[in-house]
Amino acid sequence: MPTPSILQGARIYIESARGAVQALSAITKAAPPVITYAGADPSNNDYMIITDMTGMTQINDAVVKVANVNGAGNTFEAKDQSSTNFGTFVSGNMYPVTFGSELTVAMGAAFTGGEPQYANYMLLWDDMERRKFTHASAAGIDLPVMWDPSDTNFQYLYNLARTDSTLAVKIVLKSGVEILSFGNFGGSGQPTSNDARSIMQASFSINPTTKPWYVLP
């Protein structure tokens, strides 16, 4: 039976550090995909951002969780993912990301967009339109937070939003399922309040450049 999920009890972590870029030499079309890299070995349960992809562009900007590291062969698996129907790998890079900061002022997370978009067309002999999937609409993750300029994480988000920056985020549901996303980050940090007794909030958002990736507990 399907297991319903709710956001209550979730923990949100934002990236606190990035490591050096490492070249990739192969990603298999498999479930899970096996990634071959050059340079330092990651550890199981590390997180990597895949970037600069050609060929297998569907995995570009994905945040993957490392599993089954083979240091002798310079490979690891992207936990709980599948690249079976992706394009053929040509080249790419990766870099490690650390989720060392829990967003303790988080008041929610709203997932928006991502709806399927279609092109409608007709052939000469048709008496009804056909449609073909073309793309998904722009997606976003809105992060309402408690407005607290004294909080370290609030300060970090506020300063980050004042630059043209990207951010990786990990949302861990109470069930242990992880939602991993990466994209452009923005927001004013301006406080809002409905009335004199409402908690003052600020809103930030991540605009993902790829679909979110899910990792099971």
Rounded distance between C-alpha atoms, residue 106 and residue 205, angstroms? 12
123 and 200 within one domain = yes
Reported residue count of the chain is 217
210 and 62 Cβ atoms separated by less than 8 Å: yes
Instruction: Tell me the mean pLDDT in the region 187-197.
Output: 85
Domain for residue 7, yes or no?
no
Q: What is the pTM of this model?
A: 0.89
Give the model's pLDDT for residue 65: 97
Average pLDDT, the chain: 92
- Whether 187 and 117 map to the same domain: the answer is yes
Q: Rounded distance, CA 146 to CA 130, Å?
A: 47
Among candidate residues 57, 75, 98, the one where a domain is terminated: 98
pLDDT tens digit string along 75-122? 999 999 999 999 999 999 999 999 988 888 899 898 888 899 999 999
The yes-or-no verdict on residue 153 having pLDDT over 90 is: no
* pLDDT for 129 beyond 90: yes
Q: What is the CATH number of the domain that holds 54?
A: 2.40.30.180
DSSP string, 203-214: EEEEEESS--EE
* Percent helix, percent strand, percent coil in the chain, to nearest 5: 5, 45, 50
Secondary element (H or E) of residue 158: helix 152-161
User: What does R_g of the chain's alpha carbons equal in angstroms?
Assistant: 20
pLDDT > 90? residue 163: no
Domain count, the chain: 2
pLDDT tens readout for residues 21-76: 999 999 999 999 999 999 999 999 999 999 999 999 999 999 999 999 999 999 99
Burial code (b: 16+ CB inside 10 Å, e: under 16) for 30-43 equals eebbbbbbeeeebe
Determine which helix (DSSP H) or strand (DSSP E) holds 160, and give its type and residue range. helix 152-161
At 85 the pLDDT is 94
Q: Specify whether 113 is located in the same domain as 29.
A: no
Q: Nearest-5° angle of CA 51, CA 81, CA 22?
A: 30
